[in-house]
Structure 1
């Protein structure tokens, strides 16, 4: 990497985004970008931009004081002009006077990719992985017809592979954020909702297609064969080496044909290794997804089991009281009735008082011969282990349970599932979780309606639909 960032951008470039008005500055920057992006040179008349920013500031009646500004901007037009002056001084925009003496605002060249990156983060844009792989395959199919296989084929495939690996890594890192968000929730119904949003944001869309109908393995052999031809086909290899030398010469690097041949082979091999790495990344994404599902179930079970004890009820009361801004007289009396002080006859674990320790010397017992475990105890232990295995919930057991519920029906509602205790509610959670399992004989169709089961458990309504005999 040549040079440093602030050799190219203004030293105060990030100042607007770190000031007390950072949110307003960002909104104004995005407004300017939307106006300028369709023009030939990312520019627009200054008056047009001022009018747009003035409309943005219209509802805001607060004063606007920027660093370096001597006067306080009070009305919307003054605020818009102050923002433009600040953005110009920090290197975000520039001004130029055209032939008709009209002033134009123009985004600087290094500002544009930065703004586009911000938009990508805000909008949570997701790469269409399948499109990248298809583009790589189409590029490699032009090997025989390309006069410059290195510039047009190898470099194009390198760019596509780099983009694909980078986006999959970004997806991999986002799963950790989803897990962290999950562990902060406490309500079981929220956990069921999180499954739905998680499937929409991570498992569905392009990654789901990459794993199923548009699996990456469909193109693996074609890509490998094309990459091997670059090194094995004499005509393609000769043109590729010449292109490699030409590209390096433009960068003022002089290399021989032998060196170019070795470097070309190394780059082609690196592309193949990167393609092999995709399987490892996809495997890690699947593993993190498995951890997410297990964590969600543990959170649901913990919340449901701990929510009905005395400590859980007190925590719930305190949370509800903490959410109240002001107490009236009746509420204060209610709080007094709930809590009362009473004397303790024992020292709490949290007490600052030191507990007295008494030493007592006793008789040392002789070591007795250890008796062997009887067959009855062994058999009882084995029976206990088998019973635990039988009680363990697995995708296969849940699938059989759902098939028994469906019977001859093609579809049933969650309302039709009998719920008499907490174990039955756990089964509903497992039905939702294992509905996306590849061996499941059913699928889940969710609705926005919320229902209450057994006058106790609140969940989003869904239907269970029987799948055909042949499903993926």
Structure 2
């Protein structure tokens, strides 16, 4: 069976046109509303209001794709939102549900769209893998096998699945390190190299690598798990085979062979895990080394003043052959860039570092500070409290987001910078804390760069986090 035997061939067309970001945002907004309902549906009125609010937030009427909307046009946010929703319905992302008597008609996500949007949401909000949790679970299951009535179904099968999931997570981590290395080999500006390095630190080193090397050390239960697997081939072998027969409906001889294979598979997964950790370590060291080297090279050869000076110094280092040449006048083609004076003009002692006097000096006792008045103490306390209230902390940023999103679905950073000029530092804080797990808002960046109040920044939208 081919993939497009299941999917509508037009399904991904909205996500490939010039308005692909708009459709992606609408789909994720619909997913946020529908993901908690019983049938992944939303009332048509609520869906229309959601699309209209989003279009109003954009502040402009977007041109439609002529291929899928021939002859259609929109003059306001409501009609444009309806056209965008209609195209999502025609492409198979949403479908209309008939309501009962005196019930509002509803629109639901299609079954295939639910699966795809779950994957999209996981890409946008990757889950943090707790590596030690799976090994701790495997350890406890194997330790308590003697009290388990279904040792194959509830213990060995679970342990095998967890080991496979754990190695899949490690492979993804290893592949992500490799993708960052590959990205660094392409043509990039120095700032892009540094940004990529910071992104790697945040998304790979802090989120995963540091954790499984420290608090989530993957081999703290390895010895106990191997001992539990030895018991599976020993004292629990008959109970495992009997339970395998009951669950999988096979003969006793087939069950005994299958159990031994499953135990060996778990052992192999532990060995694979060890090899993966070694590979991740090597890739991690390689990436950091290449990132620093590439950043240094590009910073020294990007046409900046620092790069030009480095090129000049490199030229002189290659051309000067004798020590006496250091004291001769510079008549090279590069002399027009700067002027070198022979040390004989100023004297050799001119280049010697200054000598600081080491004579001891008497230490004068500082006069005592006058006592602070009650009014001054209260004023200083008020200043400290005001500083705490204005500090860019997660709590203050969450409070600020709640204020600006009061009775609104979305708001743009440009609008906030124009109307909340005194709170510009908190607008920066919205972007800074956008990845914090305790935030009460979400942001979505756009490719557009805007200027306001003498500052230039990348436009982004703020919406309440569901």
TM-score if structure 2 supplies the norm length? 0.58
The aligned residue for residue 221 of structure 1 is 223
The aligned residue for residue 45 of structure 1 is 43
The aligned residue for residue 397 of structure 2 is none
> 1:189-208 alignment to 2 at 5 Å?
196-208=198-210
Offset of residue 109 of structure 1: 2.3
The aligned residue for residue 342 of structure 1 is none
Offset of residue 304 of structure 1: 6.2
Offset of residue 53 of structure 1: 0.9
The alpha-carbon distance between structure 1 residues 5 and 62, as it changes in their structure 2 partners (threshold 3 A), is closer
Cα distance between partner residues in 2 of 1:315 and 1:101? 75
5+ residue gaps, structure 2, are 312-431, 433-466
Cα distance between partner residues in 1 of 2:105 and 2:300? 68
> 1:33-432 alignment to 2 at 5 Å?
33-58=31-56, 59-65=59-65, 67-74=67-74, 75-99=76-100, 100-183=102-185, 184-185=187-188, 187=190, 196-233=198-235, 236-249=236-249, 255-303=250-298, 306=301, 313=308
Offset of residue 284 of structure 1: 0.8
The alpha-carbon distance between structure 1 residues 158 and 91, as it changes in their structure 2 partners (threshold 3 A), is farther
The alpha-carbon distance between structure 1 residues 115 and 257, as it changes in their structure 2 partners (threshold 3 A), is same
Offset of residue 223 of structure 1: 1.3
Alignment deviations for residues 270-313 of structure 1 (CA, whole Å, 9 cap, x no partner): 12101211111111111112212322343355346656899964
Cα distance between partner residues in 2 of 1:278 and 1:311? 45
Cα distance between partner residues in 2 of 1:56 and 1:309? 43
How large is the Cα RMSD of the aligned pairs?
3.3
The aligned residue for residue 394 of structure 2 is none
The aligned residue for residue 424 of structure 1 is none
The alpha-carbon distance between structure 1 residues 150 and 111, as it changes in their structure 2 partners (threshold 3 A), is farther
Indicate the larger mover: 294-303 or 208-217. 294-303
Cα distance between partner residues in 1 of 2:168 and 2:122? 14
Residues 16 and 25 in structure 1, CA contact (< 8 A), matched pair in contact too = yes
Offset of residue 263 of structure 1: 1.5
Residues 65 and 72 in structure 1, CA contact (< 8 A), matched pair in contact too = no
Residues 167 and 273 in structure 2, CA contact (< 8 A), matched pair in contact too = yes
Residues 28 and 117 in structure 2, CA contact (< 8 A), matched pair in contact too = yes
The aligned residue for residue 20 of structure 2 is 22
SS in 1 for 2:96: strand
Residues 300 and 307 in structure 2, CA contact (< 8 A), matched pair in contact too = no
The alpha-carbon distance between structure 1 residues 303 and 37, as it changes in their structure 2 partners (threshold 3 A), is closer
Cα distance between partner residues in 2 of 1:64 and 1:304? 43
Offset of residue 120 of structure 1: 1.9
The alpha-carbon distance between structure 1 residues 108 and 238, as it changes in their structure 2 partners (threshold 3 A), is farther
The alpha-carbon distance between structure 1 residues 283 and 307, as it changes in their structure 2 partners (threshold 3 A), is same
**Number of equivalenced pairs:** 307
Residues 129 and 207 in structure 1, CA contact (< 8 A), matched pair in contact too = no
Offset of residue 70 of structure 1: 4.9
Residues 65 and 71 in structure 1, CA contact (< 8 A), matched pair in contact too = no
Residues 17 and 65 in structure 2, CA contact (< 8 A), matched pair in contact too = no
Cα distance between partner residues in 2 of 1:240 and 1:12? 50
Alignment deviations for residues 382-427 of structure 1 (CA, whole Å, 9 cap, x no partner): xxxxxxxxxxxxxxxxxxxxxxxxxxxxxxxxxxxxxxxxxxxxxx
SS in 1 for 2:97: strand
Cα distance between partner residues in 2 of 1:86 and 1:138? 52
SS in 1 for 2:37: coil
Alignment deviations for residues 135-166 of structure 1 (CA, whole Å, 9 cap, x no partner): 33333344223222222222322322222111
Offset of residue 110 of structure 1: 2.5
Residues 130 and 206 in structure 1, CA contact (< 8 A), matched pair in contact too = no
